[in-house]
Amino acid sequence: SHSTGALFYCQSDGERFQVFKTKNLKFKSPKQLSQLDKWSARDISVAKDNERVVFEHFDELYKYDPAAPKGEQVTLLDVNIPEDMWQDNSRFDQARNDISRITVSENQKLMAFEYKYDAFLRPVKGGEPKRITFDQSGISNFVFMEDDRTLMIQKLYRGKEKLFTTSIDDPTNLTKVKWFGSDSLNVNRFYLDMSGKWVLYYDGAVMSSQVAIADSGFTNLRPINAPWPMVSNLAINDSQDFAAYAVVRPDYVYELYVYDFATQEHTKLMNMDGYVSNIGWTPDNRSLILSMGGEIYRLDLVPRDQFEYDEDFWADALALDAEPEEQEEEPQEESEPPIEESQAEAPVEETPTEEPEVIEEIEPQEPEEMEKPTLEIYWPGLKQRLVRILKDSEAYLYLYRMEGDNKFYYFSNGSRFNKNFILKSATIYGKDSKTELDFGFRSFNIVHSSGVYYYISNGTLYSCAIGAAPKEIPVDVDYEWDEATLNTRVFEEVWGVFGENFYDPGMHGKDWQAMYDLYLPYAQQARNVSDLATVVDEMIGDVNASHTGFYPRREPEQGRYNQTTYLGLEFDLANRLDKGLKVSFVYPHTRLDHYYKLQVGDLLTHIDGHEITAHTPVDSLLMNKVGKRIYLKLQRDGEEIEADINGLSWSEIRKLGYEHKIAKRRQMVDELTDSQVGYIHIPAMGTENYDQFTKELYTDNVDKKALIIDVRGNVGGRIHDQLISILIKKHYAYTTSRRRTYQPRPEPYSAWDKPSIVLVDEHSFSDGEIFPIVYQQLKLGKVVGYPSSGAVIGTWEYSLVDGSSMRLPGSGWYKMDGTNMEGTGAMPDIIIQHTPNDTIADRDPQLQRAIEEILKEI
């Protein structure tokens, strides 16, 4: 408040964010002003001349009036602005060669494709596409069934992935597929296996990537009940008696199994040392070909003769040529004289012939039934019979399909190395590898139908057979869609995906279905993605969890983003001059610092020729000039200084500020410990941060007697275990070197067995909290600072149907006693608060206390 100095802020009461008030920054005894029970308060604005307050209450505005009677001080603000809610949300596209997914019938007469958010049907040879779906829910997968007239579709329905079928005779009439999980379970993916079986992956309430199989026509669907989530395909052998698959355990160990369809038994073959994606059987059931870690392996279930398919060229060359068999000459029949034309026309009198030979009729015999290959596993030496047969340092290799006894096709994906996507073939021994088809760069969605390959490259559809040149299949589509409908679909997807993946199945005590019912009407009113973001943020916020976030698609009409440019200077804005800006700080190691040697007190008078007055919009003069030359004029004691620099970005100026702050902290530690104690700040928990930590540890700090590890402001990552491993190691031996010095050197070298202490604060986040918690539990040293927020969940990014994205907090973290780190965080042994006054005075009481404590241990 400008009038009284009171501070108004929002704080959670455990259920909702309420409005609070405090005076003189006394947060221990604030006054709660609101009692909101449905939505939280946010975005407070305070009147200039009094303590009246206005704040947002979801889709309404509320006010706080201290002059109103008690109990009526917080009320709805009556805003009567006549407005027209109607706006045209319809959009229309005319596109050519811009599709994102295809499937082709086995008879190659029909194809289905996805454009933007819906599916279309069209003859392969051409014609006008027929639209199949109209709800803008996106297409996750579709496959023509065995009759080539029915299409099975996987798409979103009320926030979850479901299965539908439609007939080409009436393609807009979609029928929901009934199966044991059709009402409650989420479809992950499905495909028609080369064996003729349908394979369905689905997510259960507790375990994801479970698998069921169905017979022809998607009938008799039944689960196979794998022990853990399946990470590979379900590879069914030719006789359909057995299947092979890989799973991942909760401890991230991969296991390889064989499944017996007759007995429904799962037989574990071995643990694998990498991620297994695709598996295939050799027709004789003696070997598995599998993709693992971007390479291709062969596992022999029984020992094979490694020379079984080798040709013996010497035997062929040395073999005696067989003498040609003598053939008896057939007696030549005497030729009859030619028949005269008159004779040919004359009637011929039939003469009796000999009685025809009687041929004994042979009863047809039933064809002999081919004996099915049996499955044998010779367990001794099984692990040693897993051999790598193909590797490419510039491509990711994975199995596509088997072809006969001694051949298979595989894909070589070199996109990460700017290489093409290629179909290759090789023998099961990894020999005779050759290119069959080159799909080009960044091609995807490969579909094989009756010897022809269909694929998409840069939105264009192509077909190609092995040995032939690719042919473009033009696809034109007219597409009308509704932005409001799309926003509703996105809301439903967010709700479904978040509910399926949130680390706590109990959703932090929230009824997730009730949340859907509550927020859906608001999502349906969202006319743009910004409105939708407000609704989504409110819904996810009710779960009260960290590592969440919704990042809406960027609308075309949003235009260019204006980027602020920085000079590497800070100015005294509290005492604004009529002309010029007085420099209050020069960032070290910038051109203005080391080349022009600017000083505090210098006066900036011009930017690119524009004179600076008290009313000059300096930000506008520096807009969108990052990396561009900027000309400055300054004055010092009446003398003019001309300078030119390249404009700095926000990330560049932030890095300069960070380096300056850390340098001051390191200097403080050196001065107060007589250079006996080292100091390392870890800003994040990424691989590059670990590399920087070890570099500083074993260079600048290797001779120190103790170490301060500062994770204040750490934004997280996943290197806590690597850091702990260094700190927990103990020296167990000594080595000497005759050539260098005979002085014993402790082993292992990469260990820190000297005293250490850790700093943490309320700005430490995620793995920046896990590290001090584990450090404390293992009693490696003291933790000093302020309690962290408890934002500890494992998360990943998920892309939504419209191009928006969100964070999915899918894994929880718990202390050894079962305490959830989410919501509790790190609790220092010694709590020291860093106040705003400390920041203003450039003090660091937390670091000061850490120095005092670590000196006690030297």
> Cα–Cα distance between 718 and 759 in angstroms, integer?
18
Q: Name the domain count of the chain.
A: 4
Does residue 190 register a pLDDT over 60?
yes
Q: Averaged over 542-552, what is the pLDDT? A: 94
Do 834 and 732 lie in one domain? The reply is yes
Split at pLDDT 50, 70, 90, the class of 714 is very high
Pairing of strands 830-831, 782-785: parallel
Does residue 438 register a pLDDT over 70?
yes
> Cα–Cα distance between 686 and 568 in angstroms, integer?
27
| Confidence (pLDDT) at 84 | 65
Do 747 and 605 lie in one domain? The reply is no
Do 635 and 738 lie in one domain? The reply is no
| Confidence (pLDDT) at 532 | 96
Over the Cα atoms of the chain, what is R_g? 38
Q: Answer for the pair 264, 242: CB distance below 8 angstroms, yes or no.
A: no
Question: Any idea what the CATH number is for the domain that residue 624 is in?
Answer: 2.30.42.10
| Confidence (pLDDT) at 307 | 86
Does residue 348 register a pLDDT over 50?
no
Do 573 and 696 lie in one domain? The reply is no
H or E segment to which residue 465 belongs: strand 460-465
Does residue 336 register a pLDDT over 60?
no
Residue 354 falls within a domain, yes or no? Answer: no
> Cα–Cα distance between 398 and 289 in angstroms, integer?
10
Backbone angles phi, psi at 524, to 5 degrees: -70, -20
Question: Rounded to two decimals, what is the model's pTM?
Answer: 0.85
| Confidence (pLDDT) at 360 | 44
Question: Any idea what the CATH number is for the domain that residue 526 is in?
Answer: 3.30.750
Do 758 and 850 lie in one domain? The reply is yes
Residue 297 falls within a domain, yes or no? Answer: no
Do 509 and 624 lie in one domain? The reply is no
Does residue 356 register a pLDDT over 80?
no
Over the chain, what is the mean pLDDT? 91
The pLDDT tens digits of the residues spanning 234-292 come to: 999 999 999 999 999 999 999 999 999 999 999 999 999 999 999 999 999 999 999 99
Higher pLDDT, 313 or 86: 313
> Cα–Cα distance between 504 and 481 in angstroms, integer?
36
Helices (H), 681-808: 687-697, 720-728, 767-777
- The two structure tokens encoding residue 534: 């407000």
Q: Answer for the pair 790, 824: CB distance below 8 angstroms, yes or no.
A: yes
Do 842 and 740 lie in one domain? The reply is yes
Do 680 and 733 lie in one domain? The reply is yes
Q: Averaged over 473-496, what is the pLDDT? A: 96
Angle at 570 between CA 564 and CA 574, to 5 degrees: 110
Does residue 178 register a pLDDT over 60?
yes
Burial class of residue 724 (count of CB atoms within 10 Å of its CB; 0-12, 13-18, 19+): middle
Do 612 and 691 lie in one domain? The reply is no
Q: Answer for the pair 56, 42: CB distance below 8 angstroms, yes or no.
A: yes
Residue 731 falls within a domain, yes or no? Answer: yes
Residue 453 falls within a domain, yes or no? Answer: no
| Confidence (pLDDT) at 675 | 97
Residues ≥6 apart with Cβ < 8 Å to 448 = 401, 454
The domain of 33 spans 7-76
Nearest Cα neighbor of 245 from 306, 326, 313, 299 is 299
H or E segment to which residue 32 belongs: strand 31-32
Which CA distances in Å does 740 have to 648, 702, 745?
A: 48, 19, 11
Q: Averaged over 112-118, what is the pLDDT? A: 97
For 446, the 3-state DSSP assignment is strand
Do 28 and 61 lie in one domain? The reply is yes
Which CA distances in Å does 518 have to 537, 538, 572?
A: 14, 11, 50
Residues ≥6 apart with Cβ < 8 Å to 611 = 579, 605
Does residue 351 register a pLDDT over 50?
no
- The two structure tokens encoding residue 835: 């106040």
| Confidence (pLDDT) at 1 | 84
Share of the chain above pLDDT 70, in %: 93
Strand partners, 564: 623
Nearest Cα neighbor of 693 from 715, 794, 702 is 702
- The two structure tokens encoding residue 572: 């005294």
Total count of residues recorded for the chain:
858
Helices (H), 546-647: 591-594, 618-621
The pLDDT tens digits of the residues spanning 566-575 come to: 999 999 988 8
Residues ≥6 apart with Cβ < 8 Å to 468 = none
- The two structure tokens encoding residue 707: 């170490």
Does residue 397 register a pLDDT over 70?
yes
> Cα–Cα distance between 243 and 259 in angstroms, integer?
5
The pLDDT tens digits of the residues spanning 632-656 come to: 999 999 899 999 999 999 999 999 9
